[in-house]
Amino acid sequence: MVRQINDKFLFFDEMEINLLKKVLTTKKLSGTSEWVELYEKKLCDYFGVKFAIALSSGSAALHTALYVVGATDGAEVLVPATAPIPTVIPILIARARPVFVDVLPETFAFECNDLKRKITSKTKAAIIIPMWGYPLPYKDTLEVLEEWGIPLIEDTAQAHGTIIDEKKAGAWGLISCFSTHDRKLLATGEGGFALTNNKEIYDKAKLFSQFGYMDGIHFGYNYKPQTLQCALGLYRLDHIDKQIRIRTDKATSLLESIRNDYICELAIPPQSSPNYYSLVIRLKASSEKVRKFISFLANSNIPSDIFKYGYRPIYKHPLFREFYNLECHNAENLVKTITTLPVHPDISNDDIEYIVNIIKKAEKILF
Ligand SMILES: *Cc1c(COP(=O)(O)O)cnc(C)c1O
């Protein structure tokens, strides 16, 4: 039988059935139950922040974040040109305007000169995105934003448990946004949450996500989560660190076997560690050779997010065609020379051996 490497890891634990039974018997399943509060408390503990708000999705968290920092209706929002589509759609929902900024060579961090160049009187927020859970050097970005009084929103949808300069991703921004969609490290089917250390931001976000408390004064959406999702999240939060350890071990052993002059891991800043949402490798070869390499892997049933999602600089998608003539060289180079490899807990040692063998065959393409 042909081996198929699965890019999805779906968590299940028998204990969850008992938990969900217990929750169902309370009969209260809305977004304001005690289970939601318990989940939010535990999120605060895990991420080391003061406030957490459970929400219906990562997209809801991003829209809420934009609203509470005032990045709506004609405001400009700075986003790296390597942003994925789900980061940018909430900006459109908020009727704000995305402004795409180039990245530093070989990272997903803002290139600060381009960042400064693109700040205007309308800039109301910047969104930073640790793609595939890879830590980014935040400090330079934060310095620029602080100087201009622009709030940082973290889109940490892929970065549960990622460490940046000895502190968890999601604990840095004025507000940070997480998804708990099935593909993410903390998975509840669909779902999300926002984190902040700022009481005023917390109050505003809560108000916005609950219809403005229907007081007839404040505007808001219904972005409340479901109790069952939150109960699952509460349980599964205990399993993230173990998952990250397993993923890190698999990534390390895979890298040891494939690293050479043409293949390396995406750079990791000091005092930082990825959660290994995926292993990201950088290929030192022309974009054409890299494309052939990735195709060879895909044809051998080793999936790549680059292939699967047509990953490219965001302004190359037809949805953003008004930005087609932008040129962010570092972003363009980066997306043409990377690919992802699954290293989740369901990847067996045999799978790793298979991936290594296929890469050994494919690497000749890069020479
Ligand atoms: C998954 C994801 C989102 C969207 O989260 P949903 O819960 O699916 O709405 C946003 N940004 C990034 C970077 C993501 O990976």
Segment-wise mean pLDDT, segments of 10 residues, the chain, 367 residues: 89 95 96 97 98 98 98 98 98 98 97 98 98 97 98 98 98 98 97 98 98 97 98 97 98 97 97 98 96 97 94 96 94 97 97 97 94
**Site to substitute for ligand 1 among 64, 181, 305, most atoms within 8 A of C-beta:** 181
In the numeric block, which tokens belong to residue 9? 């890891």
pLDDT value of position 261:
95
> What's the 157 CA to ligand 1 centre distance in angstroms?
5
Q: Is 82 in the pocket of ligand 1 (CB under 6 A)?
A: no
Q: What is the pLDDT at residue 2?
A: 81
CA–centroid distance, residue 225 to ligand 1 (Å): 15
The letter for the amino acid at 281 is I
Ligand 1 atom at minimum distance from 86 CA: 10
pTM for the structure as a whole? 0.98
CA distances to 22, 158, 206, 267, 270 from 263, rounded to whole Å, are: 49, 23, 45, 12, 20
Instruction: In whole angstroms, give the CA distance from residue 240 to residue 244.
Output: 6
pLDDT for res 156:
98
Residues pairing with 80 in the sheet? 101
Verify whether ligand 1 is closer than 6 Å to residue 179 (CB atom). Answer: yes
Contact 262, 367 (CB under 8 A): yes
292-310 residues labelled b (16+ CB within 10 A) or e (exposed): ebbebbeebebbbbbbeee
User: Cα(193) to centroid of ligand 1, in Å?
Assistant: 11
- pLDDT value for 64: 98
pLDDT at site 15:
95
Q: 39: CA distance to ligand 1 center in Å?
A: 20
Alpha helices in 27-57 (DSSP H): 34-47
Q: Which of 93, 178, 179 to mutate to test the pocket of ligand 1 (most atoms within 8 A of CB)?
A: 179
165 CA to middle of ligand 1, Å? 24
Atom 12 (ligand 1): residue with closest C-alpha? 157
Q: Which of 55, 57, 59 has most ligand 1 atoms within 8 Å of its beta carbon, as the pocket-test mutant? A: 59
Ligand 1 atom closest to 184 (CA):
1
φ, ψ for residue 195, nearest 5 deg: -125, 145
CA of 289 to the centre of ligand 1 (A): 30
Find out whether the beta carbon of 87 lies less than 6 Å from any atom of ligand 1: yes
**C-alpha 179 to ligand 1 mean position (Å):** 5
